[in-house]
Amino acid sequence: MKKKKILYGIAGIGLGHTYRQLPIIEYLAKKYLLVIFAYDKSYEFYSSHFKNRKSVYVERVAVPFYVGGLDGLNFKATLNHPYNKDKDFLKINLAVIDRTYHRIGKPDLVITDYEPISASYSYIFKTPLITIDQQSKYLYGRFPMVLKDQSFKDEVERLNLFFPKANKRIACSFFRVYKKENGQDVTVYSPIIRKDIIKLKRKPSKKQTILFYISSQKDFVQSYKSIIDILNSQDASFYIFMKDSSKLKKFSSEKISFYDYGDHDFYKILRRCNGIISTAGHNLISEAMYLRIPVYAIPLSIYEQHMNAQIIDKHGFGISNQKIDKRKLAFFIKNIPKFARNIKDDSKILLRGSSQQKIIQFLENIINKSS
């Protein structure tokens, strides 16, 4: 009996989409012929992760960076964005679509986490399309239209542009979402948590130990020199994960250590840290709440991150601030035990557990029904 064929698209902005889909992709890769459409960080990760797997093919697609603002998508700014310069998106993607057609033809199912070329493939061949992301909650739920001069209107317009039609939309969220009056049909699940996080046996350090994760999505909001001066003023140890950490090794001290993304010490430090400082991306905050670790959230100028940071700050799961501030950081470190209790005791805000088994079962039902 021939293996059924799955096409899976994964956005490559930062590593959140990459890690969120890993548990599902690893499951599907064991049973089916799998083609992955990916770019940037997701392509780097999955092309390496599956380099020796014969039934998994990873293709590099090209997706423009769509600039958004309070009024929605800004197509003029998108046209002039440096990321989009001198890149022949059509040529790259047509070549990928052609190779994929000759490799698998019509797939039995297309799944995507905010990656639109796989969705286009599903429309071409009238294949069922399932979207699994965090942005789809804005099609469904009640949210303030504007947060800190940011709107989710651009997220909705990206969803309309990328995925105008889907057989099922799934949104993952670490916090509860309540349906708005005219909300679309979206199923909201608790986060997908990778197995390395699930099996982690937490043993927090007796000395205050902070994991500091600097996202690669955008330039950080303040200079590294100012951050290091503030960290050195605190009674805690800081383990900083960032891109090209070697450039800052000269600032290492008894209090401050630097690591690259993906360093094998990440889980060891996560196991014993008392708190996390991070930009307010959905995936790491979801993992922090799962592990009951308080967060000092520094949202990038994106509505999604401001929403995540507001949940952390408003409900006492940590604090939110626009940058690293000496006084705020001291307050965060002092109150880590209180924030940790708030996370542990909450029964109204946080969506508990990991949803991958429910999502996998849902996908299996669709695959088994396909002809």
Residue with tokens 């989009």: 84
Can you give the pLDDT at residue 263? 74
Q: Answer yes or no: CATH 3.40.50.2000 is held by domain 5-192+354-369.
A: yes
The model carries a pTM of 0.93
- pLDDT tens for 200-215 read 999 999 999 999 998 7
**Partner residues linked to 256 by β-bridges:** 238
Q: Record the tokens describing residue 97, joined without a space.
A: 């679509």
Distance CA 267, CA 340 (A): 19
Percent of the chain with pLDDT over 90: 84
Distance CA 47, CA 56 (A): 9
CATH 3.40.50.2000 domain span(s) along the chain? 5-192+354-369, 197-345
Distance CA 356, CA 192 (A): 5
Question: β-strands 295-298, 275-279: how paired?
Answer: parallel
Nearest to 339 by CA among 268, 275, 281, 287: 275
Distance CA 139, CA 78 (A): 23
Instruction: Count other Cβ atoms within 10 Å, centred on residue 174.
Output: 24
Name the helix (H) or strand (E) containing 311.
Answer: helix 303-314
- pLDDT tens for 73-91 read 999 999 999 999 999 999 9
Let me know: does 313 contact 319? Beta carbons within 8 Å: yes
According to DSSP, residue 243 is labeled T
pLDDT 10s digit of each residue in the chain, 371 long?
689 999 999 999 888 999 999 999 999 999 999 999 999 999 999 999 999 888 999 999 999 999 998 999 999 999 999 999 999 999 999 999 999 999 999 999 999 999 999 999 999 999 999 999 999 999 999 999 999 889 999 999 999 999 999 999 999 999 999 999 999 999 999 999 999 999 999 999 999 999 999 875 555 667 878 888 999 999 999 999 888 777 777 777 888 998 888 777 999 999 999 999 999 999 999 999 999 999 999 999 899 999 999 999 999 999 999 999 999 999 999 999 999 999 999 999 999 999 999 999 999 999 988 76
Torsion of CA 263, 265, 270, 275, to 10 degrees: -80
Handedness of CA 191, 197, 202, 207 (dihedral sign): negative
Can you give the pLDDT at residue 334? 97
Distance CA 39, CA 13 (A): 8
Instruction: Count other Cβ atoms within 10 Å, centred on residue 346.
Output: 16
Residue with tokens 């998106």: 89
197-345 CATH: 3.40.50.2000
Can you give the pLDDT at residue 220? 65
In the chain, what is the greatest distance between 2 CA atoms, to the nearest angstrom?
64
Q: What is the CA radius of gyration of the chain?
A: 21
- pLDDT tens for 283-320 read 999 999 999 999 999 999 899 999 999 999 999 999 99
